[in-house]
């Protein structure tokens, strides 16, 4: 039956056996085998009655697998061998014909392509859900002021809706990246054989169309050694998780007593076993912490592929655990993010009080001087001096007298007090993409249009 006389050493088998994780490829493997059997039938390698029996048996195996009734045996090395073994139990030697013109090398590559395509699609839908949630929240908070930060120091006030839409656009780029990863996976390697091609003139294009691919690979060596599409998926997932970690981090900060800007709904928080007063933002903290895990999945596979000579090497079996780990982590994170956004509540008063900090208007005062012809750097210096005096004396900018102001610059007249009026420095941010109500309304419309475009 084989050139081997001895069983594999258990110490080797323990590392070599991939069935515990690659069984997740089962639905793709069965679909691929059914399409391959049909293609072999079309070129006369498998007779009409045989293809019927193969197809029926494969459909039965699929049912066993999805119903949890498929019995895996200790000798099953991977999902491909397990299905082949079961097929032989059901229909005898005919099962062996299915492996005509196919190697496990192009078989496994094809399965993973299909899994990547599938999960890109699922992830994009989850991203869409989070984007819709952000847009809804942004619309509901378009005229709520909050401090905008740089270096986590109060910088300039913005509208809450503007801040939330920043995440909307980040996620729209993630959506795009998962679409690019899907396209990278949509090129079918099946028909490349072990590495050099196969001895049968199978219509690869027909198989590709049947399995949902856009195209077929051009070079069998590249096809059997390529895992770029998994790397593309992992890189998209790592960047997306990094975006969610920033949102998670802000939610943690906002929900602290010190900030008090937002409250995460109870079902997404937990209590403390010892301090009864606590409501901890665990969900947001987990969003923060899942990103490095997915980055780890990405760098793991980059490491596996690095310096690997063509074509297939068993190293490449190590693509699956990072991939499935990232799938589970990013899909769960996006799903939870949507839930958090549905229940989060902002505290208008706290946000208002924090953004009414007059120091946030310092840039506005500098711009007033610029409008009067003072070069910006000089204006920056003058306002810096004003701020220093106020901080030292514990006074607000608007508490300075016209006489004091005149000592700094003759241009600091009554318009200075106008500029310091609350809200005026939000509405002055009129540039496209800025925070003024006018610009934000335009942006909300753009976000609406973008969602409609993504929904296709």
**Catalytically active residues, by annotation:** 151, 272
Helix count and strand count (H, E) for the chain: 19, 6
Q: Of the two residues 179 and 321, which places its CB atom closer to ligand ARG in the complex? A: 321
Question: 7, exposed or middle or buried, with CB in 10 Å at 0-12, 13-18, 19+?
Answer: exposed
Is 316 a binding residue for ligand ARG by CB under 6 A? The answer is: yes
Considering only residues 126-145, where is the footprint of ligand ARG by CB under 6 A? none
Supply the minimum distance, in Å, between the C-beta of residue 19 and ligand ARG: 9
CB 121 within 8 A of CB 185: no
Q: Of the two residues 104 and 350, which places its CB atom closer to ligand ARG in the complex? A: 104
Supply the minimum distance, in Å, between the C-beta of residue 111 and ligand ARG: 9
Question: 45, exposed or middle or buried, with CB in 10 Å at 0-12, 13-18, 19+?
Answer: middle
Smallest CA-to-CA distance from 427 within 418, 313, 132 is with 418
Smallest CA-to-CA distance from 312 within 452, 394, 193, 398 is with 193
Is 220 a binding residue for ligand ARG by CB under 6 A? The answer is: no
Diameter over CA atoms, the chain? 102
Q: Show the CA angle centred on residue 59, arms to residues 55 and 61, nearest 5°.
A: 115
Binding span for ligand ARG by CB under 6 A among 89-97, 199-207, 209-217, 310-318: 310-318
Q: Of the two residues 172 and 317, which places its CB atom closer to ligand ARG in the complex? A: 317
Is 184 a binding residue for ligand ARG by CB under 6 A? The answer is: no
Please select the residue that binds ligand ARG; options are 39, 40, 83, 108, rule is CB under 6 A.
Answer: 108
Binding span for ligand ARG by CB under 6 A among 53-61, 103-111, 159-167, 382-390: 103-111
Supply the minimum distance, in Å, between the C-beta of residue 120 and ligand ARG: 20
How many residues contact ligand ARG, by CB under 6 A? Answer: 10
Residues 6 or more apart in contact with residue 434 via CB below 8 angstroms: none
Q: How far is CA 101 from CA 104, 105, 234, 357, in A?
A: 10, 11, 31, 73
Task: Say how many residues make up the chain.
Answer: 456
The two structure tokens encoding residue 249: 């981090």
Supply the minimum distance, in Å, between the C-beta of residue 314 and ligand ARG: 6
Binding span for ligand ARG by CB under 6 A among 53-61, 82-90, 101-109, 154-162: 101-109
Supply the minimum distance, in Å, between the C-beta of residue 225 and ligand ARG: 11
Residues 165 and 157: their CA atoms lie apart, in Å, by 15
Is 104 a binding residue for ligand ARG by CB under 6 A? The answer is: yes
3 state SS of 316: helix
Binding span for ligand ARG by CB under 6 A among 61-69, 102-110, 273-281, 363-371: 102-110
Q: Of the two residues 115 and 336, which places its CB atom closer to ligand ARG in the complex? A: 115
Supply the minimum distance, in Å, between the C-beta of residue 104 and ligand ARG: 4
Considering only residues 67-86, where is the footprint of ligand ARG by CB under 6 A? 78
| Letter string b/e over residues 256-280, b meaning 16 or more CB atoms within 10 A of that residue's CB | eeebebbbbeeebbeeeeeeeeeee
Q: Of the two residues 29 and 411, which places its CB atom closer to ligand ARG in the complex? A: 29
CB 307 within 8 A of CB 100: no
Please select the residue that binds ligand ARG; options are 32, 33, 105, 409, rule is CB under 6 A.
Answer: 105
Binding span for ligand ARG by CB under 6 A among 47-55, 199-207, 285-293, 313-321: 313-321
Please select the residue that binds ligand ARG; options are 283, 317, 329, 443, rule is CB under 6 A.
Answer: 317
Q: Of the two residues 181 and 316, which places its CB atom closer to ligand ARG in the complex? A: 316
Phi and psi dihedrals of 409, rounded to 5?
-165, 140
Q: Of the two residues 108 and 190, which places its CB atom closer to ligand ARG in the complex? A: 108
Is 33 a binding residue for ligand ARG by CB under 6 A? The answer is: no
Binding span for ligand ARG by CB under 6 A among 104-112, 292-300, 341-349, 370-378: 104-112
Block residue for tokens 């299909």: 114
The two structure tokens encoding residue 283: 């969900």
CB 37 within 8 A of CB 202: no
Q: Of the two residues 29 and 367, which places its CB atom closer to ligand ARG in the complex? A: 29
Block residue for tokens 């293809």: 51
Q: Please give the DSSP secondary-structure letter assigned to residue 270.
A: B
Residues near ligand ARG, by CB under 6 A: 18, 22, 78, 104-105, 108, 312, 314, 316-317
């Amino acid at each position: 039956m084989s050139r081997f006389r001895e069983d594999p050493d258990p110490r080797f088998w323990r590392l070599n056996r991939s069935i515990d994780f690659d069984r997740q490829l089962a639905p793709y493997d069965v679909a691929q085998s059914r399409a391959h059997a049909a293609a072999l039938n079309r070129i006369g390698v498998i007779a009409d009655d045989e293809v019927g029996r193969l197809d029926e048996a494969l459909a039965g195996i699929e049912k066993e697998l999805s119903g949890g009734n498929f019995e895996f045996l200790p000798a099953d090395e991977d999902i491909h061998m397990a299905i082949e073994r079961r097929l032989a139990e059901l229909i005898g030697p005919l099962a062996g014909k299915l492996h005509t013109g196919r190697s496990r090398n192009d078989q496994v590559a094809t399965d993973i392509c299909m899994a990547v395509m599938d999960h890109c699609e699922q992830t994009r839908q989850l991203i869409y859900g989070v984007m819709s949630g952000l847009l809804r929240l942004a619309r509901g908070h378009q005229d709520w002021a909050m401090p905008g930060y740089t270096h986590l120091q109060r910088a300039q006030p913005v509208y809450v809706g503007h801040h939330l839409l920043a995440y909307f656009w980040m996620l729209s780029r993630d959506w795009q990246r998962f679409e690019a990863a899907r396209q990278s996976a949509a090129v079918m390697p099946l028909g490349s054989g072990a590495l050099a091609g196969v001895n049968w003139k199978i219509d690869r294009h027909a198989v590709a169309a049947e399995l949902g691919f856009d195209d077929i690979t051009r070079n069998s060596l590249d096809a059997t050694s390529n895992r770029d599409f998994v790397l593309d998926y992992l890189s998209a997932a790592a960047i997306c998780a990094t975006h969610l970690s920033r949102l998670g981090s802000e939610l943690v900060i906002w929900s602290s007593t010190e900030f008090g800007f937002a409250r995460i709904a109870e079902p997404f928080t937990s209590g403390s076993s010892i301090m009864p007063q606590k409501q901890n933002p665990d969900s947001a903290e987990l969003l923060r912490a899942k990103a490095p895990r997915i980055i780890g999945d990405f760098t793991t596979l980059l490491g596996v592929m690095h310096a690997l000579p063509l074509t297939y090497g068993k190293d490449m079996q190590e693509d699956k655990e990072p991939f499935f780990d990232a799938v589970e982590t990013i899909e769960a994170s996006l799903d939870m993010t949507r839930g958090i956004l549905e229940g989060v509540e902002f505290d208008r008063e706290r946000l208002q009080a924090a953004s009414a900090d007059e120091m946030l208007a310092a840039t506005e005062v500098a711009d007033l001087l610029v409008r009067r012809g003072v070069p910006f750097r000089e204006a920056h210096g003058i306002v810096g001096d004003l701020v220093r005096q106020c901080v030292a004396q514990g006074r607000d900018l608007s508490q300075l007298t016209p006489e004091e102001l005149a000592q700094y610059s003759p241009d600091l007249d009554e318009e200075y007090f106008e500029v310091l009026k609350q809200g005026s420095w939000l509405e002055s941010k009129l540039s496209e993409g800025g925070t003024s109500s006018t610009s934000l309304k335009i942006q909300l419309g753009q976000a609406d249009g973008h969602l409609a475009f993504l929904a296709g």
